[in-house]
Structure 1
Amino acid sequence: MPILTRDLSVFIGTIYGGIIIGLLFDVHRALKLNFKLVKHLSIVFDMMFWTLVTFITFITVNAIENFDLRYYHFVALFIGFILYYNTISKFILAAINKVISLVTNLLKKTLYCMLSILNNLYYVIIYSLHFIFDIIFYIPNMLTATTRFIRRKYRKGLKIKKRV
């Protein structure tokens, strides 16, 4: 392979690495826009982002040149990032925001449904136990109290008849 075409293919491959970095940057921005926790822990997530970018840069350079690092790798990464950022970044960012809002809304609705099911299940269990305890304790007590009441009335009725 001629040296010029090899260098051109290496340059284009490194541009793809810059595009991947731009995509990660949009994911990072979308997470910061949509989640307060990411915004509050910004330093931690920035460090994670830059660690991932460094990892991707080294993977790109290793895959293309076996760690034969040259200055045009950084130029190609920068060009790939700028190409991505100026062309399709706003569309990708909007799509990522929509996916994040769809997933969070789906998770909220799922959690709400699960909690309402658990709440209803709680009341079913509590009322079932209440019913069982009524059957076990209240109804026999009610029957014994009724029989006592009837016996008292019957005894009073017998005493009244004897006096007359």
Structure 2
Amino acid sequence: MLPFTQELGVFYSTIYGGIAVGLLFDVYRSLRNNFKIVRYLSLFFDALFWIIVTILTFITINAVENFDLRYYHIIALFIGFLLYYSTISKFILTGLNKLIYLITNLFKKTVCYIVSILNNLYYVIIYSMHLLFDIIFYIPNMLLATRKFIKRKSVGRLKIKKRV
């Protein structure tokens, strides 16, 4: 049997585990509010949340008492969750929502900038290739056609002079 002060320390440590569960719950709520995929696959994400909470609870109990589960651990986890939820949960949730909005907005703008750069790069490459093909094929053909035209005109002038 542990002394009362040590039991009290274990109780407070388990309360911190409940606060961690509350924080995890707020992270889950903010993800669910901001991403449609989490809402659509809510059964999967609910199960994932509870698996993570179970693992967190077992880690807390292992760190505190080496899996010596007592009734007050469950009460302390519940008290920790209620303390967190009733005091700072709304501030944390608001901060998480703003952080997620900032990150998603930054990601969207970055993707838009990359797409616009690639789009401009595409046109630079296409127009450069177009100019290159014009230089390689069109301009020499134009010079040859001009030379042939000048040759025909000069041959026509020579014939006219001979007749007179």
The alignment's TM-score, normalised by the length of structure 1, stands at: 0.97
- Structure-2 separation of matches of 1:93 and 1:148: 80
Counterpart CA distance in 1 for 2:126 and 2:114 is 18
Query: What's the counterpart of residue 109 of structure 1?
Result: 109
Q: Gapped runs of 5+ residues in structure 2?
A: none
Shift in Å at residue 3 of structure 1?
Answer: 1.1
Distance in structure 1 (CA, Å) of the matches to 2:90 and 2:115: 37
Partner of 1:32: 32
Q: CA deviation at 1:162?
A: 2.3
Q: Aligned partners of 1:149, 1:71: CA distance in 2, in Å? A: 105
Cα distance per residue 1:47-90 (max 9 Å; x no partner)? 11100000000000000000000111011000000000000000
Which letter maps to 2:95? A
Paired letter, 2:157: G
Distance 1:17 1:118 in 2: 48
Q: How many residue pairs align between the two structures?
A: 164
Mapped partners of 2:60, 2:53: distance in 1: 10
Structure 2 residue 16 is matched with structure 1 residue 16: yes
| Aligned match of 1:72 | 72
**Distance in 2 between the 1:96 and 1:17 partners?**
20
Question: CA deviation digits over 1:101-145, x for unaligned, max 9?
Answer: 000000011111111111111111111111111111111101000
Q: Give the distance between the partners of 2:157 and 2:91, measured in 1 at CA.
A: 93
Query: Where do 1:11-160 residues align within 5 Å?
Result: 11-160=11-160
Question: CA RMSD for the aligned pairs?
Answer: 1.2
Supply the distance in 1 between the matched residues of 2:35 and 2:160 (Cα, whole angstroms).
84
Larger deviation: 126-135 or 60-69? Answer: 126-135
Specify the SS of the correspondent of 1:47.
helix
Q: TM-score, normalised by structure 2?
A: 0.97
Instruction: Give the Å deviation of 1:159.
Output: 1.9
